[in-house]
Amino acid sequence: MKQQQELVYTDLVKAHMLMGLIDLLLVMIFGLTYSLTFLNIHIVDPYMSPVRLRFNHTNVAAYGFLANCITGALYWAVPRMTGHPVWNRAYGWLLWAALQVAGIGTVISLLFFGGTMLGGPELSRWIGPQSVEWSETPFIMDVPITLWLFVVIPQFLVPIIKASKEKPLYTGLWYITAGLVWTPMVYVLGNYPSVFFYPGAAGAALNGTFIHDLVGLYVTPMGWGLMYYFVPRVLQKPIWSHGLGLLGFWGLAFFYPAQGVHHYLWSPIPMFAQYAAVFATIAIEIVVTTVLVNFMMTLRGSYGAMKEDMALRWFYVGMINYWITCFQCSIQVLLTTQKVIHFTDWVTGHAHLIMFGTFGFWLLGMYEHIVPRMYGLKYTYSRPLSEMAFWFMLIGTEVMFVDLGVAGIAEGFAWIAQVPFIDSVNLGKPFWWVRTASGIFIFTGYIAYFYNILKTMAVGRAYQASTKVATA
């Protein structure tokens, strides 16, 4: 116990987690409010364009929720995987503060700057939202975020290097090592060349590469790297196959960076890049399956744990969602399928299942595991609340996925049939009602989750105080 407290600095985990969970709350509020636009309930449009809410929905998810929660989980997992503490704790607090400033700055500038808002079109290039999907963060915020991503490397790489000198690195640390160096490069690629140098089709190629790399080279390696720590830890047994782990990692590393253009299939981007993207995307589905087989075989014989341990349930449901999304991806990336589903709601459903249904679930599961253990407890405050959160968010996410998928197919065929565009919009309206309803489901579940975590922390503090008194 004492050794663990020296190794892991739980205050940083807590700080990152709390900001990440608050950001997720914001993300859901932005998303729900924006979804009302589709039902012709316009709340913000006298003051600002509602799309600014969507900017925030996606950007706060990436640079608020995911960045915070992943970093917090790294502060917990990396010292335990390597056996060495992170580089510097004071530096960690500086990084934490910088990330929050960048996050708040992003929200404010995405809501109130550029375009018809403060600064006008003249200053929009510097302080207004950019047209880089999933990184609409304005230029003034891009620079600090880029710097942050570079300076965060030593914090986690130093313990990894130390561990590497002692013995071969563990599989989870391969993902984290690669993810640490990929992320800043991805961010630079997405936010500068296509914004300032390359117009039109060339810029779109870079931009597509960025959109996909942010998923594939930041969130995915960090997510899997942490899974390689948490799943064996919860199950109390090693991963099934080291060989499959090798295959999974190197396959991901090789194929993931080469598939960005699949976001712009049938576009004016040269066809060889589109074919390469399609090939790499289908290849990665095979790689993903090997990783999934590895984790499912690890679970074999311990199915009962799924019933007992909430965290494990989040992990494995997330993994199944991950496989569904990747399988779907290998189908939807075909040029034939693209004729129907490109530009439609299908893609929105796909994105929600991977970003929330997988990585969101994993992170929520991780904190379900971490938070009680930070205080020496074994369970969260309330099991019924945990169950409620799990089922509400699961049902909400799956309903949204199926609903938007069906809506996408309907819209796609309506466009091929060349009906007036407004008819395809009217076709989508019932589906958008269901989408908002599923969003409310997710939101309700998340409120239960957040309350449960806060309560667990309160109980944990009381428990720590009582044990301190007892030992003293």
Partner 1 sequence: MASGGRAIHERWAFIFFLAGIGFFVTGTFIQGVLPIIVLGGTSKMKTKDQVVAEGFYKRQFPEVIQLLAMYPNLWKKYYNVPDQYFYTAPPAVQKQIIKGVAQAISDGRWIYMAEGCWQCHSQFVRPVSNEPAYYGHVSVPSEYDNTLFLPHLFGTERKGPDLIREAGKKGVEWHLAHFVNPQYTVPGSIMPRFAKFVDLKDGKPVLTPANPNDAYASLNPEPTKYGLAVITYLEWLGSWYRPRFFDEWRKEVQEEQQNPQAMQAAMTSTTPSSNSSNSNANSSNSSNTSSSNSSNTKSSTPASSGASK
CB 171 within 8 A of CB 122: no
Collapsing DSSP to helix, strand or coil, 113 comes out as strand
| Pairwise CA distance, residues 89 & 74, whole Å | 13
DSSP letters for 27-89: HHHHHHHHHHHTTT--SSTTTS-THHHHHHHHHIIIIIIIHHHHHHHHHHHHHHHHSS--S-H
Shortest CB 184 distance to partner 1, Å: 10
- Mapped onto helix, strand or coil, the DSSP state of residue 423 is helix
Residue 52 CB, nearest approach to partner 1 (Å): 6
The answer to whether the CB of 138 falls within 8 A of the CB of 52 is no
Smallest gap, in angstroms, from Cβ of residue 80 to partner 1?
17
Tell me, what DSSP letter sits at residue 380? -
Q: What angle do CA 36, 411, 327 make, to 5 degrees?
A: 95
The nearest distance, CB 7 to partner 1, in angstroms, is: 19
CA dist., res. 297 & res. 220, Å (int)? 21
Indicate the residue among 59 and 380 with the shorter CB distance to partner 1. 59
CB 203 to partner 1: min, Å: 4
DSSP secondary structure string for all residues of 116-130: TSBTHHHHHHHHSPP
Closest to partner 1 by CB, 101 or 416: 416
- DSSP assignment letter at 168: P
The answer to whether 48 and 85 have CB atoms below 8 angstroms apart is no
Comparison of 340 and 448: residue with beta carbon closer to partner 1 = 340
Residue with Cβ nearer partner 1 (267 or 289) = 267
Nearer to partner 1, 261 or 353 (CB): 261
CA–CA dist 87, 79 (Å, integer): 10
Give the shortest CB-306-to-partner 1 separation in angstroms.
31
Which amino acid is residue 429, in one-letter code? K
Nearest CB to partner 1, comparing residues 384 and 420: 420
Shorter beta-carbon distance to partner 1: residue 45 or 387:
45
Distances (CA, A) of 13 to 10, 21, 89, 407, 434: 5, 12, 11, 40, 36
**Cβ distance to partner 1 smaller for residue 65 or 182:** 182
Rounded Cα distance, 41 and 43, in Å: 6
Give the residue among 72, 54, 81 at the shortest CA–CA distance from 10: 72
CB closer to partner 1 out of 147 and 246:
246
Specify the residue, 175 or 367, whose C-beta has the smaller distance to partner 1. 175
Minimum distance from CB of 453 to partner 1 (Å)? 32
* Shortest distance, position 463 Cβ to partner 1, whole Å: 38
CA 403 to chain centre: 21
The alpha carbon dihedral of 144, 149, 150, 154 has a sign of positive
Least distance (Å) between residue 320 CB and partner 1: 26
Nearer to partner 1, 260 or 365 (CB): 260
Could you tell me the smallest distance in angstroms from the CB atom of residue 319 to partner 1?
22
Q: Quote the least distance from Cβ 12 to partner 1, whole Å.
A: 22
Nearer to partner 1, 20 or 260 (CB): 260
Give which of 308, 167, 291 is closest to 236, Cα–Cα.
308
User: CA angle 314-317-323, nearest 5°?
Assistant: 135
HSE-CB of 249 using CA atoms within 13 angstroms: 22
Judge whether 254 and 225 are in contact, CB under 8 Å: no
- Minimal distance, residue 464 CB to partner 1, in Å: 35
Classify the phi-psi angles of 40: left when phi > 0, otherwise alpha if psi is within -120 to 50, otherwise beta.
left
